[in-house]
Structure 1
Amino acid sequence: MGARPAPGSADGPPPRPLLSRLAGARDALVTVALSAAAAVAIGIVRAPAAALEKRVAETSDVYVLPPPDEVVTLSLGYRSALADLLWSHVLVSQGLHTMERRRFENLTLLLDAINALDPTFRDPYLFADALITFQTSTTPHDEVVKAREIMERGVQNRPLDGEIWLALGQFVAFIAPASYLTDPAEKAQWRLDGARMLARAAELGGNDANISWQALGGAGILGRAGEREAQIRFLQRTLAVTDDEGLKQQIRAQLDKLLGEQAAEAYRRRIDGFSEIWRRDLPFVSKTAILVLGPPRDPAYCAGGAHADEPRCATTWSAWAERVAGER
């Protein structure tokens, strides 16, 4: 066995040389000095940069997309996806532009691209007037016309959407003439056009009384414009499709004033007769369904032609209405 090492003489790490310790301290000092210099430099540059940023503001937008037809090609078949992406960009950018108090100059171009990508996407049509006119500066006349153009594109691509017809009619009949148009003749024409659009909205809003109630103001515009026959047709068509009892009473009261007592009574007879046939024959179907199916007809009673001119032998509702009117 070897001799034990004397106490205190065990092997251990060799002591660090003096030059190594000095090099480590120097590196630490350099790091601290560089950090301090960087902090000072940032402090010196930051204030002028902030002041410059306040003075220099973005004042215009750059539209980088090609024309709408080319955007469709650019989508590589993902038309709805790209339309959703652009619509999200429109909503976010509208908020940013409003916060920065500057006009969203590319809005109508983006809406054109979205419409080309997905013609039946309804949200851009419903919100086009609000987005285009809700700006921090005065809306120019050409953009007001453009808003109408986009919404008319909506009713062309979604002709049975009563809500889009309602939004279009309200903008053309009320909002634009009252807030953005200045020429009296143009105002009058827009109001008249808008009233006809509201009439179509009322026809399509049979199951949604809210649409019909809101569209009813168009009848008054037609009346003030001297379009009495158009006003009567507006009210009659709305009455024919609505199931809202309060609205029915309102329309009947207006028709009584417009048609006179005798004509109003004849019209009420036709409406009440139709409702009675509907309840008696097919009460479980909708009004639209019974209008499509036509009036009930008894083949045995109507055979031979002896009763061909009676209402109960009519094959269409229009023929039935004519025969009911002829019975007076």
Structure 2
Amino acid sequence: MGGVRRRLLALAVLVGLAGAVHGLHERARTMRAAFPEDEDLLYLPPPEHLAWMSLGYREALADLIWVRALVFAGTHLTDDEIVWTDRYTEAITYLAPRFHRPYLWGGISAIYVGGKAVDRSMVERAIRIYRMGLAQFPESHELLYRLGMLLLHQVPITPGYTPEEIAEAKAEGARLIRKAAAFGADPLVRQYAASLIDDYAGRQLAIQFLRSQILEAEDEHLREMLRAKLAEIGGSEALDEVERLRRAFVAERDRAMPYVPEALWAIIRPDEGPFGPEATVATSSDSGR
């Protein structure tokens, strides 16, 4: 008799607990329905908290947050929420600083996602993200080019910058775009970089940059454009010198590894030799003639 009573009591307790759980579940659903649909996407703990929450799997957690960031930017971003791109980028790159893509995404999203008019705070946020990326990837032509374009073209048309700041930003932007070209950007970027030479580089720096690009360029159309630019600012002697160096460069490649493309040979060849951008180009002004 006592055993039956205990079983009935246990059953009654289970039924009561089930009813309580159901009631709490319904209450939780009601409370959640009152939240904005993107509340779970907007909430993100501070990066230092995420580090220990990852239990050592920092890169895995960074991947999950990266997916959330893409969903957030693609479906929930409004004018008032654009600051959250910065928080997502900070969290991801804190957990996985060698994750390259979020720096590119963060810099673009900080300005151009959403319909809000671009202001100085947005530009500065994008600049900071790109500089964070370049601290990890100093030779990334993608980061160099995007930051260069931002400084060269967006800063001058954004309210709040002084003429001195604009001039400084444009000069740095041109330098970064030339650097992007030197680190393997596509031919269009290299062509654009060459067009910036006159305004933002000294004559010798311009000659050295153009010469290094001619030596490595495999596209004949690009090479002709670079030759014309070099002849324009350096004269025929500078062009003759670079043609001599290019012939020597190709001959060296043909002797050592004729099956290797010229662009690859420029990277893997021994450092010794006259073909690096640091070599001096002889000009009439340099020789005193």
TM over 0.5: yes
C-alpha contact (below 8 Å) 1:203/1:238 kept by paired residues: yes
Stretches of structure 1 lacking an aligned partner (at least 5 in a row):
1-52, 295-314
Distance (Å, rounded) in 1 between the aligned partners of 2:122 and 2:132: 15
Describe the superposition over 1:156-214 as per-residue Cα deviations: whole angstroms up to 9, x where unpaired: 21233322222222222223334566422212211111111112211121xx6xx2422
Distance (Å, rounded) in 2 between the aligned partners of 1:324 and 1:137: 49
Note closer, same or farther for the CA distance 1:241–1:119 as it changes in structure 2 (3 Å cut): farther
Structure label with greater radius of gyration:
1
- Aligned residue runs from structure 1 range 136-147, under 5 A: 136-147=115-126
Note closer, same or farther for the CA distance 1:65–1:291 as it changes in structure 2 (3 Å cut): closer
C-alpha contact (below 8 Å) 2:230/2:239 kept by paired residues: yes
Equivalent residue of 1:260, what SS?
helix
Matched, 1:112 2:90: yes
Question: What is the TM-score normalised by the length of structure 1?
Answer: 0.64
Distance (Å, rounded) in 1 between the aligned partners of 2:134 and 2:248: 34
Matched, 1:318 2:264: no
Distance (Å, rounded) in 1 between the aligned partners of 2:162 and 2:241: 42
Distance (Å, rounded) in 2 between the aligned partners of 1:181 and 1:173: 15
For 2:236, give the aligned amino acid: E
Other-structure match for 2:154: 175
User: Displacement, 1:239?
Assistant: 2.1
Note closer, same or farther for the CA distance 1:62–1:274 as it changes in structure 2 (3 Å cut): closer
C-alpha contact (below 8 Å) 2:175/2:200 kept by paired residues: no
For 1:119, give the aligned amino acid: P
Distance (Å, rounded) in 1 between the aligned partners of 2:279 and 2:239: 15
C-alpha contact (below 8 Å) 1:126/1:151 kept by paired residues: yes
- Aligned residue runs from structure 1 range 141-290, under 5 A: 141-179=120-158, 182-205=161-184, 211-225=186-200, 227-287=202-262, 288-289=264-265
Equivalent residue of 2:87, what SS?
helix
Other-structure match for 1:307: none
For 1:174, give the aligned amino acid: H
Equivalent residue of 2:56, what SS?
coil
User: Displacement, 1:147?
Assistant: 1.0
Describe the superposition over 1:23-44 as per-residue Cα deviations: whole angstroms up to 9, x where unpaired: xxxxxxxxxxxxxxxxxxxxxx
Note closer, same or farther for the CA distance 1:77–1:58 as it changes in structure 2 (3 Å cut): closer
Equivalent residue of 2:97, what SS?
coil
Stretches of structure 2 lacking an aligned partner (at least 5 in a row):
1-33
**Identity rate of aligned residues, in percent?**
26
User: Displacement, 1:249?
Assistant: 1.0
Equivalent residue of 2:133, what SS?
helix
Equivalent residue of 1:216, what SS?
helix
User: Displacement, 1:110?
Assistant: 1.8
For 2:231, give the aligned amino acid: D
User: Displacement, 1:137?
Assistant: 1.9
Note closer, same or farther for the CA distance 1:63–1:190 as it changes in structure 2 (3 Å cut): farther
Other-structure match for 2:104: 126
Note closer, same or farther for the CA distance 1:69–1:102 as it changes in structure 2 (3 Å cut): closer
Note closer, same or farther for the CA distance 1:289–1:69 as it changes in structure 2 (3 Å cut): farther
Q: Find runs of 4+ consecutive structure 1 residues off by over 6 angstroms.
A: 56-59, 319-325
2:72 to 93, 107, 115: 93
For 1:184, give the aligned amino acid: P
Note closer, same or farther for the CA distance 1:114–1:64 as it changes in structure 2 (3 Å cut): closer
Distance (Å, rounded) in 2 between the aligned partners of 1:111 and 1:217: 29
Other-structure match for 1:28: none
Distance (Å, rounded) in 2 between the aligned partners of 1:316 and 1:157: 28
Equivalent residue of 2:83, what SS?
coil
User: Displacement, 1:224?
Assistant: 1.6
Aligned residues: 246
User: Displacement, 1:290?
Assistant: 6.0
Equivalent residue of 1:144, what SS?
helix
Distance (Å, rounded) in 2 between the aligned partners of 1:139 and 1:318: 46
Task: Report which of the two has the higher share of helix.
Answer: 2
C-alpha contact (below 8 Å) 1:172/1:193 kept by paired residues: yes
User: Displacement, 1:88?
Assistant: 1.9
